[in-house]
Amino acid sequence: MSSEAIIRLESIGKSFPKFDRPFQGLAHMVFPRRHAREEFHALRDVSLSIHRGEAIGIIGKNGSGKSTLLQIIAGILQPSSGRIEVSARIAALLELGAGFNPEFTGSENIHLNASLLGLNGNEIAERMGDILAFAEIGPHLDQPVKTYSSGMFLRLAFAVAVHTDPDVLIVDEALSVGDIYFQRKCFKRIEELREAGCTLLFVTHSVDTVLQLCDRGIVLDGGRLRFDGPSQEAVKEYLKVVFGDNSPVIEAPVDDSLSPPDDEVLLLQEADELDEFLAAGASEKFSTRPGYNRDETRLGDGRAVTCDYLISSAFGYGPLVPARQAFQIKVRYHFPEALDRLIFGVRICSVSGQVLYSANTLVSHGRLFACAAGTVAVGHFELRCALLRGQYFVTVGVSRHDGNEIHAVDRRSDAIVLSVSGESNHAEGVADMEARFDISGAAGSVSETLA
């Protein structure tokens, strides 16, 4: 990464007028200061410096201003306030169809889009072979792109963008359309561009993509810049934005010279958070925790309350855990009345609802528990993350075995969103079997080349 700033944004704001009736929009074009009763502020006072060679992930909830920010950087939109300086060639994949004419053939659109990105006729001819090899659209090249599937469209658009030698490559969720093989091909090309000094601006909702591709993360919230820093810290801040923040408030020491080192500060914060979790008693804290899914399904007769949880891993406290490593889920329960033959369990499901793992104290250990009235109990679930990178839903709760059947007392289904951070595409599927490969020749010779 170079210290040279190729993009500077100073106090950027972008607002859009709102109208009660359609004709007011037309009137506003003629008389800009009239008819708009209020404005929607997509961006407010955003200041950034982007340097050559950086890989920056821009994350935030829907409507936080991510796409608007990229469109301003790409020159598609003009800011309502503030100033922007760009001294770089930018290639942008903001949405499918941008810079393409659906009536033109693939070949004609390559010339059109490449010229819009700054290449002349000779440069386009020189790179045509590489573009076609990357896009892999075969005989469809001479067909109108309106007949293309979204995947074919994406491959062609991306192939053109990454072969224009951009100083800055902007990608706004476009890669989510391609299959896993094309995504891998794109990521390899992005790494090649990064090694050549290209700056990457990447908008995504996949926190693992940010951790995989980016060394810097920008979090937008309500049009404002909430965080700008290392990608791992940005992901944690984003999860707080999405799921809520229940971090303890740590007062700064009066004398900075007496401050403990950063790792000691982290240990103090984690100790305080654990103490707060254990001391909260019967308090309902579930909905305040990072990772809480407000669309959970809650089942049971209500005679006990599953009232709080805490996830800890090598990343600290929070719903982000590393693949192939141990992590712990702590759950706090309150029993207003005495109950016996109790079962405590945990279940992990995919986004589609497939059960990936399920265990409880009866099935795994043959144990039933009894709690007196007024008891506050804490369950400690020690797990090893054998899941591949992605996001999963966790169910926790307490049930009761009446001798014949198991009945839910308070089961909070899909109440926690667990994010797993792992290596980039080292395997496919859901579970990590941690395969080790060795290929040897039984007869003849076997040689190895890098992919």
Q: What pLDDT does 202 receive? A: 86
Do strands 38-51 and 199-203 pair parallel, antiparallel, or not at all (unpaired)?
A: unpaired
Q: How many residues does the chain have?
A: 451
Q: Which of 24-28, 108-112, 136-140, 313-317 bottoms out in mean pLDDT, i.e. has the lowest?
A: 24-28
Mean pLDDT of the chain: 82
- Could you tell me the pLDDT band of residue 29, with boundaries at 50, 70 and 90? low
Q: Report pLDDT for 170.
A: 87
Q: What DSSP state is assigned to residue 431?
A: B
Give CB contacts under 8 A, 24+ apart, made by 271-280. Answer: 272/248, 273/247, 273/248, 273/310, 273/317, 274/310, 274/317, 276/248, 277/308, 277/310, 277/330, 277/332, 278/332, 278/378, 280/307, 280/308, 280/332
Region 26-30 average pLDDT: 61
pLDDT (mean) for 247-254 = 38
User: What was the pLDDT predicted at 255?
Assistant: 38
CA angle 183, 184, 187 (to 5 degrees): 85
Q: What is the mean pLDDT of residues 58-82?
A: 90
Number of H helices, E strands in the chain: 10, 20
The DSSP bridge pattern shows strands 339-349 and 355-360 to be: antiparallel
State how beta strands 316-317 and 355-360 pair: unpaired
Encode pLDDT of 140-188 as tens digits: 889 998 898 877 888 888 888 888 888 898 887 666 555 666 777 777 8
Mean pLDDT (whole number) for 1-22: 80
Give the Å distances, CA to CA, from 362 to 359, 366, 425. 8, 4, 36
CA-CA distances (angstroms) from residue 94 to 18, 167, 251?
A: 24, 16, 43
What 3-state class would DSSP assign to 14?
A: strand
CA-based angle 155:159:160, to the nearest 5? 125
Containing H/E element for 343? strand 339-349
Asked if residue 244 has pLDDT above 50, the reply is yes
In one-letter notation, the amino acid at residue 414 is D
Lowest-confidence range among 2-6, 188-192, 259-263?
A: 259-263
Task: State pLDDT tens for residues 190-211.
Answer: 888 888 889 999 888 777 778 7
CB 435 within 8 A of CB 427: yes
- 120-127: long-range contacts (C-beta < 8 A, 24 or more apart)? 127/163, 127/164
Q: What is the pLDDT of residue 2?
A: 58
What pLDDT does 5 receive? 87
Residue 249: pLDDT band with limits 50, 70, 90:
very low
Dihedral angle, C-alpha 434, 435, 437, 443, nearest 10 °: 160
- Which tens digits make up the pLDDT trace of 361-374? 998 889 999 999 99
CB atoms within 10 A of CB 202: 23
What number is the average pLDDT over the span 252-277? 51
SS3 content of the chain, % helix, strand, coil (to 5): 30, 35, 35
Q: Which domains does the chain have, with CATH numbers?
A: 5-243 (3.40.50.300), 283-421 (2.70.50.60)
Relative orientation angle of helices 121-135 and 106-116, to the nearest 10 degrees: 120
For residue 268, is pLDDT > 60? no
In terms of average pLDDT, the best of 91-100, 147-156, 377-386 is 377-386
pLDDT of residue 88: 86
